[in-house]
């Protein structure tokens, strides 16, 4: 058979290119197919808070603060009461002082009242307002915060609850 078409010329290494692209596509598909880390629900966060409040009642605030400040505490790490390991306990008082932070020791003993998230939300101010300016002494606030496992900035719904008979609120939260 005679044709007028010139024979196809391949550049050196051009046969490798489709194989590399196929490999990259397979790797990307595998990465996307990995299940996202399991996330705690609002109900699980409230249940953890109930256990934290019970711990304060039975052990006192000083012992509870020491326990809640341990990153390996069952309140702050994967455990029977923190099934996914993405919850942890923190605290705020009326002025924004944080006595407790279950995973970030640099926050403990600091005042973060004026801290803003990347969207400009005054995180601690809102948690203080929910805890001390509402009749219920508890509530949910939404803001951006680093995920304790992935370390990526994510939307978080923080939940705070006032410790009865004190000027302290305990908090935890879920990632959306």
- Give the chain as a 3 state SS string: CCCCCCCCCCCCCCCHHHHHHHHHHHHHHHHHHCCCCCCCCHHHHHHHHHHHHHHHHHHCHHHHHHHHCCCCCCCCCCCCCCCCCCCCCEEEECCCEECCECCCCCCCCEECCCCECCCCCEHHHHHHHHHHCCCCCEEEEEEEEECCCCCCEEEEEEEEEECCCCCEEEEEEEEC
Q: Quickly state the pLDDT bin for 1 (edges 50, 70, 90).
A: very low
The answer as to whether 144 is a domain residue is yes
In a domain, 121, yes or no: yes
pLDDT tens digits, 103-122? 999 999 999 999 999 999 99
The model scores a pTM over 0.95: no
Residue 56 sits in which domain range? 42-175
Is 16 within the bounds of a domain? no
Query: Considering the domain boundaries, does residue 113 fall inside one?
Result: yes
Q: How many domains, the chain? A: 1
In a domain, 73, yes or no: yes
Q: What is the pLDDT of residues 82-108, one digit of tens each?
A: 999 999 999 999 999 999 999 999 999
Residue 13 lies in a domain: no
């Amino acid at each position: 058979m005679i044709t007028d078409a010139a024979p196809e010329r391949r550049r050196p290494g051009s046969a490798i290119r489709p194989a590399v692209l196929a490999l990259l596509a397979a790797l990307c598909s595998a990465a996307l197919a990995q299940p996202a880390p399991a996330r705690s629900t609002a109900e699980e966060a409230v249940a953890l808070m109930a256990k934290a409040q019970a711990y304060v009642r039975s052990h006192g605030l000083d012992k509870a603060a020491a326990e809640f400040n341990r990153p390996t505490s069952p309140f702050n790490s994967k455990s029977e009461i923190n099934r996914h390991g993405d919850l942890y306990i923190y605290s705020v008082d009326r002025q924004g002082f944080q006595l407790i932070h279950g995973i970030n020791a640099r926050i403990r003993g600091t005042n973060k009242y004026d801290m803003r998230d990347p969207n400009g939300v005054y995180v601690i101010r809102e948690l203080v307002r929910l805890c001390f300016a509402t009749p219920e002494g508890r509530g949910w606030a939404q803001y951006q915060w680093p995920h304790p496992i992935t370390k990526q900035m994510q939307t978080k719904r923080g939940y705070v609850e006032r410790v009865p008979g004190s000027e302290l609120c305990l908090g935890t939260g879920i990632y959306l």
